[in-house]
Structure 1
Amino acid sequence: MDFIDTHLHLIARDKLGYGWTAGIPALATGDFSYADYLALTAGRGVVGAVFVETGVDDADYQAEARLVAGMVGQGGLLGQIASCRPEDDDGFDAWLDECEGLHVHGFRRILHVMPDALSQTPTFRRNLARIGARGRAFDVCVLARQLPIALDLAKACPNQPLVLDHCGVPDIAGQAFDDWAKGITALAALPHVHVKLSGISAYCAPGTATRATLQPWVDHILNTFGPARMLWGGDWPVVNLGVGLPDWIALTRELLQGLSQSEQDQIGHDTARRVYRL
């Protein structure tokens, strides 16, 4: 099974600010470079990668996209998902225009750290429609409790391709399956919503991120979205809070080994190429 990694983060502290990492010892110091990433994935079937904005400090989000644009084309880096601020009309169209020249294949505004009402405003939804009109996807990053909010957003933006990051951030350690599963089922009923198989090893209790633990959660994603609307992501370096990237690649193969080759190809790379227009 080959992969296009649709969720790669990088940290370059001498160039950008990452205030959110301060309280996370595994991420609070040092850089996480593309060279480091390539060393971890060498020989493991990763045939390309898409950078996803790393939640840099507000003042730096445009600088991050400009920095990454200069890396695209090197070592299998296929493009990027840039940060944006759909809640604010000021400069929004100008940013979309600039991103046309920055190898941007989609956008993201991290919602799980923002007020729940942010994505519910007419301005936010109107600007999301502008992203869709340009043929770009939008990554939705919410907590499991916010899945109804994501559903409202998706219903209000039927022409905007959406990608739900990290399987909707399920509370696997707390075994909070039922409400999460209900939210996933509702979102999966909307054909313009896709889901990213990423991040979930970090949501397990320490030492429990095994196939046995994760299989029921992954099976629900498979049964609701189906392989044709699933993408794979490594979520490095945040995956270090779970099993780490090499083990997540191996664990993914275990979780999906019952699928046909064509179904594995859809999750591994075909859906990514289609949704992000790689």
Structure 2
Amino acid sequence: MTIDSHQHFWVYDEERDAWITPDMQVIRRNFLPADLKPVLDANHVSGCVAVQAGQSDSETEFLLQCAEANDFIKGVVGWIDLRSEGLYERLERYSQFEKLKGFRHVVQAEPAGFLLQSEFMRGVGQLVAFDFTYDILIYQHQLAEAAQFAARLPNVRFVLDHLAKPDIKNGDITQWAGGIRELAELPNVYCKLSGMVTEAHWNEWEKADFRPYLDVAVEAFGTDRLMFGSDWPVCLVAAEYEGAKGILTDYLSMFSDAEMKQVMGGNAVEFYNLDMY
């Protein structure tokens, strides 16, 4: 069983989705469940987790509607204002949606110190009461801050998205590797092996480019805290779904069958508490 722990849907809006720059023309259009289902089927993927791409309440509602109408969407990571005074009541309302598994904020776009703000930390801490998770989306220079953040909230289940976006294009690994190892020391933090192709030379990468980064991730987190994520459709700027998935399956071919199953699906099911029936 393979589970894609990280993908997105959107109805393209040029103003809202300004992060999709002109050189990403291939994804400047709508991407909906009907577009993904045949791709998952062709790649023998049993289900997926839809992750927020916009920061609004309507984004979370949109993803929940997608999940309600499509059984292959096993979980949703939405957005909520984690600094809101009425957060607890809103989380209580959201807890009725079985497929809503957690939340994410685009911290990579925030200034230094954002994760450690008392209001933000207090909000993330409230996720525990409803068994919600938190996805950490940062750049590699924010890893030390993320480690402090996760250490102060030991009861929250965290997952690092996209390996904190290492500079694969330039082969820079030393500083990133140190940050990854520090974060991985915290047992409440998992990591998604996702978003790698877009950090490499688009359409010019080779599978060998990713091996040093995967080696560090496995050494730091072990195969029981890593999970496959395609980052579809963002990955399409640099690779088709099959190519993005193949980087990881080829790498994992030297591991045991049990370890491969963990990374390719089992860990995502456990972390997000996905209902596979």
TM-score of the pair, normalised by structure 2:
0.92
Instruction: Determine if the alignment matches structure 1 residue 212 to structure 2 residue 208.
Output: yes
Q: Distance in 2 between matches of 1:27 and 1:208?
A: 16
Q: Secondary structure at the match of 2:49?
A: strand
Q: Distance in 1 between matches of 2:251 and 2:205?
A: 12
Instruction: Determine if the alignment matches structure 1 residue 139 to structure 2 residue 139.
Output: no
Instruction: Determine if the alignment matches structure 1 residue 3 to structure 2 residue 22.
Output: no
* CA-CA distance at 1:22 after TM superposition: 4.6
Q: Indicate conservation of the 8 Å contact 1:162/1:193, yes or no.
A: yes
The aligned counterpart of 1:225 is: 221
Q: Secondary structure at the match of 1:108?
A: strand
* CA-CA distance at 1:18 after TM superposition: 2.4
Q: Which amino acid aligns with 1:193?
A: V
* Structure 1: gaps spanning 5 or more residues: none
Q: Indicate conservation of the 8 Å contact 1:199/1:239, yes or no.
A: yes
* CA-CA distance at 1:94 after TM superposition: 3.0
Instruction: Determine if the alignment matches structure 1 residue 70 to structure 2 residue 69.
Output: no
Q: How does 1:163-242 map to 2 (within 5 A)?
A: 163-242=159-238
Instruction: Determine if the alignment matches structure 1 residue 94 to structure 2 residue 93.
Output: no
* CA-CA distance at 1:132 after TM superposition: 2.0
* Structure 2: gaps spanning 5 or more residues: none
TM-score of the pair, normalised by structure 1:
0.92
The aligned counterpart of 2:49 is: 50
**Residues 77-136 of structure 1: CA deviation (Å, up to 9, x unaligned):** 1120011222x2333223312321332101111100111221111111111110123211
Q: Distance in 2 between matches of 1:169 and 1:132?
A: 27
In structure 2, the CA distance between the partners of 1:90 and 1:28, relative to structure 1 (3 Å rule), is farther
Q: Distance in 1 between matches of 2:207 and 2:25?
A: 24
* CA-CA distance at 1:247 after TM superposition: 1.1
In structure 2, the CA distance between the partners of 1:97 and 1:18, relative to structure 1 (3 Å rule), is farther
Q: Indicate conservation of the 8 Å contact 1:22/1:28, yes or no.
A: no
Q: Distance in 2 between matches of 1:94 and 1:173?
A: 44
Q: Indicate conservation of the 8 Å contact 1:199/1:233, yes or no.
A: yes
Instruction: Determine if the alignment matches structure 1 residue 156 to structure 2 residue 152.
Output: yes
RMSD value over aligned CA atoms? 1.9
Q: Distance in 1 between matches of 2:141 and 2:209?
A: 21
The aligned counterpart of 2:248 is: 252
* CA-CA distance at 1:71 after TM superposition: 2.5
Q: Indicate conservation of the 8 Å contact 2:143/2:180, yes or no.
A: yes
* CA-CA distance at 1:239 after TM superposition: 0.5
* CA-CA distance at 1:207 after TM superposition: 3.5
In structure 2, the CA distance between the partners of 1:243 and 1:22, relative to structure 1 (3 Å rule), is closer
Q: Distance in 2 between matches of 1:63 and 1:85?
A: 12
- Tell me the number of residue pairs that the alignment of Structure 1 and Structure 2 aligns: 272
The aligned counterpart of 1:109 is: 105
Runs of 4+ in 1 over 6 A off after TM superposition: none
